[in-house]
A and B are shown apart, each in its own frame.
Chain A
């Protein structure tokens, strides 16, 4: 019986990978791949237009250097550590050397690849200014990737440091050195300069790794970073599909409290109060609502074809309705609601009215957007009537269906 570092890492990575793929499949199914492809196509079209119009005075190299420095000097290390490791595996830090080596290799691979992709995006921009004195862009990319590897290693070693001052020092130094190197590479500085900076960087890396050789891993910091990165990934996924770990997080949204002031202190208002609070604060509904509202409004204003506007806006109202409906059952796992001396159908009734208002506000916003540009008031009015009837019918039907499955 022995702890095997590389096997443990593979297990942890496998766990993450299967989770990652599962979420990616869900995102793919949600129809967002299509929008993503559209964004890429339109984006590259506008990008090529933009490049043609860049004025002579625009500091192209400086811009690329700033963005690339950000991409290169921003180092995140995922270790796939879990909180319990601090208790169970602390005594095997040395035996886990392979575990951490594999983590380092994984992060190197991912981040060097990311650097490569971003660098490729800048290729046409670089070509705008490049002349005989410039390096070939392939060479520049190689230098970028070298710089990335250096950053990852330096950061990995400095992770053993404790205290804020050391952390800030590490970041400041890396950003400065990276910017200098990237900028030199872009403007085609003499090879001698590049080589000097590269040598200084390597010497510094050697120094850091030597100084910190006898320090132990900073488990707490590694864990903190791991949790932050995992959260960020889950938040990204949460923008598309429901993530169980996040769905119960509550956002206070204090500004929304003004809406609750309208509710009387009255027994009849209990369901309204609960639905409104859940809508604003539960972190599931309001965010989606605002996003769909914003997209729809932009479509209503900027889409060229008036009938296209009406159809897409209608679809967005439909999507919002579907996304909002789970709010109805939001409290149904709380048994004490059954104990309240309130009529059984009060919740269905309150939900119907609350969501009708919320959806009508959205539809009204779309109507205003369409009226601003390109759709006559008559059409807007007809559209709004149809949408209102739709909301009414949909909610009635869905509620009847859901209530039949429930005690409620």
Chain B
């Protein structure tokens, strides 16, 4: 089966003279949640910016469903939804209007938008806040808005950057349930996170990135095998990697 997201030999960063990423390759298949793990500054966010098409690779290719950014920028970008690390909202728009703008940007028709939006409001317990402005929201609520906007699109691929910060336990549960449901319907998820216990539970595979290189990737059992730590948790493997044992 052809991968949904395929990153091949990606070298890049903010400046082509000083790359942050050094020839990294990985993929995300349909119906798969892939954890993307690494220390602060390891290159997670830079990789994500490359996938979003905000940075240009110095070399290497990124394809979603076989389509690259240069071939058809809007079509390429319409295939995924992105949940950023820190919520970025429009001060002048209410929660409902944020959902509406998202629907417009992704060409979702009015009726589909209404049904999906109502369902999301209910799931994330935000019905009462439908007409609130961002300055009335807590950090966690803002993050919920970002998540709802991404889920509204129902794309093939989700790119999620550290989604759990500030979320209450119920919201985390809702989000994970939703991700698993999307996965069952065939969506792929690339999720960067530091919450390894959660990653271990939901992710089918984990990619560990260290100093701009991918140190290991695979299902938890495969990681254990690669690390030579048969009974280890993801946490323990990760600490070993961060200490530089495998680079």
Contact = CB atoms under 8 A, between A and B. Distances in A.
Interface of A: 1-3, 15, 82-84, 86-95, 162-165, 214-216, 218-220
Given A1-B110, A164-B17, A215-B56, A88 B74 contact: no
B74 A1 contact: no
A1 B90 contact: no
Interface stretch (B20-28, B100-108, B186-194, B222-230): B100-108
B236 interface: no
A162 B89 contact: no
Given A88-B102, A93-B77, A163 B14 contact: yes
A218 B69 CA distance: 13
Nearest to B86: A83
B55 interface: yes
Given A91-B78, A162-B15, A216-B53, A2 B104 contact: yes
Interface in B96-130: 98, 100-110, 113
B146 interface: yes
Contact of B55 (A15, A88, A162): A162
A222 to B, nearest CB: 11
B103 A87 contact: no
Contacts of B101: 88
Nearest to A94: B74
B59 interface: no
A146 to B, nearest CB: 31
A1 to B, nearest CB: 5
B88 A87 contact: yes
7 contacts: A86-B88, A90-B52, A90-B53, A95-B74, A162-B56, A163-B15, A165-B15
A90 B82 contact: yes
Contacts of B90: 82, 84, 88
Given A86-B54, A214-B70, 19 more contacts: A3-B105, A84-B89, A86-B88, A87-B146, A87-B149, A88-B105, A88-B149, A91-B77, A91-B105, A92-B105, A93-B73, A162-B55, A163-B16, A165-B17, A216-B56, A216-B70, A216-B73, A219-B54, A220-B49
Nearest to B100: A1
Contacts of A82: 90
A108 B105 CA distance: 28
Contacts of B60: none
Contacts of A94: 73-74
Contact of A83 (B52, B88, B146): B88
A84 B82 CA distance: 12
A92 B17 contact: no
A100 to B, nearest CB: 13
A350 B113 CA distance: 60
Interface in B143-187: 146, 149
B14 A162 contact: yes
Interface of B: 14-17, 49, 52-56, 69-70, 73-74, 77-78, 82, 84, 88-90, 92, 98, 100-110, 113, 146, 149
Interface centre among B53, B74, B101, B105 (most CB of A within 10 A): B105
A374 B55 CA distance: 65
Contact of A87 (B16, B49, B82): B82
Nearest to B53: A216
A165 B55 CA distance: 15
A84 B109 contact: no
A211 B102 CA distance: 32
Contacts of B104: 1-3
Contacts of B56: 162, 215-216
Contacts of A84: 88-90
A228 B108 CA distance: 34
A52 to B, nearest CB: 52
Contact of B74 (A83, A87, A91, A162): A91
Contact of B15 (A2, A87, A90, A164): A164
A211 B217 CA distance: 38
Contacts of B70: 214, 216
Most chain B CB neighbours (cut-off 10 Å) among A2, A87, A163, A220: A87
B115 to A, nearest CB: 14
B69 A216 contact: yes
Contacts of A165: 15-17
A223 B53 CA distance: 15
Contacts of A90: 52-54, 77, 82
Contacts of A86: 54, 84, 88
B67 to A, nearest CB: 13
Contacts of A164: 15, 17
B103 A92 contact: no
A158 to B, nearest CB: 13
Contacts of A2: 104, 107
Contacts of A89: 105
Contacts of A220: 49, 54-55
Contacts of B100: 1
A91 B100 CA distance: 15
